Amino acid sequence: MAITKSLYGELNGVKVYTFTLENKNGMKAEIIEKGATLEKLFVKDKNGNFIDVLSGHDTLEGHTERSDYQGVVVGQYANRIKGGKFSIDGTEYTLTKNDNGITCLHGGGEYSSAVWTGTETSDKSLTFTYFSKDGTDGFPGNVKASVTYELTDNDELILAYNAISDKKTVINLTNHAYFNLNGFDSGDILDHDLQIDADYFTPIDETSIPLKMAEAVNNTPFDFRTTKKIGKDINNTDCVQIKNGNGYDHNFIINDSDGTLKTCAVAKGDKSGITMEVKTTLPGVQFYTGNFLDGTILGKQEKPLTKRCSFCLETQVFPDSPNHQDWCKCVYDKDEEYKSQTVFAFSL
């Protein structure tokens, strides 16, 4: 096990460090303090070569100016909040509307743009902390948030999130890594195999706002209960949900979620043979297929990020739940701890 730390750059006068975690098998994770971003993840493929399975950026300029949330930690509230507002105990809070000027997306971008402070917490883990001031992007509470990245010798990357607020508030933290299990520069992800353990997903309108909490996946392109290629039904525009999401950009409701770690998805790169299993304590996972990438943004090694060059499995509570507080727990009292865990486990 080894951890290294080095200077990555400087953002508005603040030094930004990068850390590398390496396990005994040679698997490596690189995380930078800006956005507590998972920048690179080197996993062994079937030919014995280590390949980087994350698309995204490899310069500070890329991370700050071109980022489509690639690899970042998203908060204070991941995913969308309708109309950029919600209420707690009769008090209405107005948020930054950074999605089409009508919706709050990914908390307005505060946590993902911030420089977090990274520290080594053991010989195989790093903790990144961030303090969000009361009222930032409209969210109540001074919030102390942290994410711990741990790389085990079993090739698992474990992300453990904690947050605590001095006022009643809403919290939903996730990581927005974009995976291509064939390697970041190996074309689209349409031939990846995917299985998602969900009987229901959350249908959305044309602005990606939930229409209701749950709709059955049965007989729809959203049925991933048995493994299928990501590309099989992705262009089935007879399905209004595929049309509304411009592909997959939906929350899946994880079967039998009970707050303990559950496997919610298993994906496999068709060329690399790399399998990734996603486990989480959270009730939902947003499956997003890079529908808005169109090659205009340059990513790692200045190569364009093309449509569907990667996919996300963002573990979370359900989108817009601050406006549907009976859907799942998303409101936290003053001093009540928010806690969640997500594991990305790799094998061949």
Task: Using CB under 6 A, pick the residue from 19, 69, 149, 161 that binds ligand GLA.
Answer: 69
C-alpha 346/C-alpha 348 separation (Å) is: 7
Among residues 63, 176, 192, 250, the one annotated as catalytic is 176
Burial class (CB in 10 A: 0-12, 13-18, 19+), 30: buried
What's the min distance (Å) between Cβ of 292 and ligand GLA? 5
Tokens of residue 196, six digits = 């998602």
Whether the CB-CB separation of 257 and 327 falls below 8 Å is answered with no
| Residue number, 155 or 320, with CB nearest to ligand GLA | 320
Nearest one of 285, 265, 261 to 276, comparing CA atoms? 265
CB of 196 to ligand GLA, least distance (A): 15
- Select from 201, 185, 186, 339 the least CA-distant residue to 265: 201
Q: Are strands 37-44 and 80-81 parallel, antiparallel or unpaired?
A: unpaired
Supply the minimum distance, in Å, between the C-beta of residue 112 and ligand GLA.
10
- Interface stretch with ligand GLA, choices 30-38, 50-58, 133-141, 285-293 (CB under 6 A): 285-293
Would you call 224 helix, strand, or coil by DSSP?
coil
249 near ligand GLA, rule: CB under 6 A: yes
Site string for ligand GLA, 164-183 (x = CB under 6 A): --------------------
Q: Of 37, 146, 148, 286, which one interacts with ligand GLA (CB under 6 A)? A: 286
Beta bridge partner(s), residue 21: 3, 29
- The reply to whether 176 belongs to the active site is yes
Among residues 312, 313, 317, 330, the one that binds ligand GLA under rule CB under 6 A: 312
Computed from CA positions of residues 323, 105, 179, 172, in that sequence, does the dihedral angle turn out positive or negative?
A: negative
Is 22 known to be catalytic? no
List the structure tokens of 156: 């698992």
Q: Which residues belong to the active site?
A: 176, 314
Note the residues at the interface with ligand GLA (CB under 6 A): 68-69, 105, 208, 249, 286, 288, 292, 312, 314
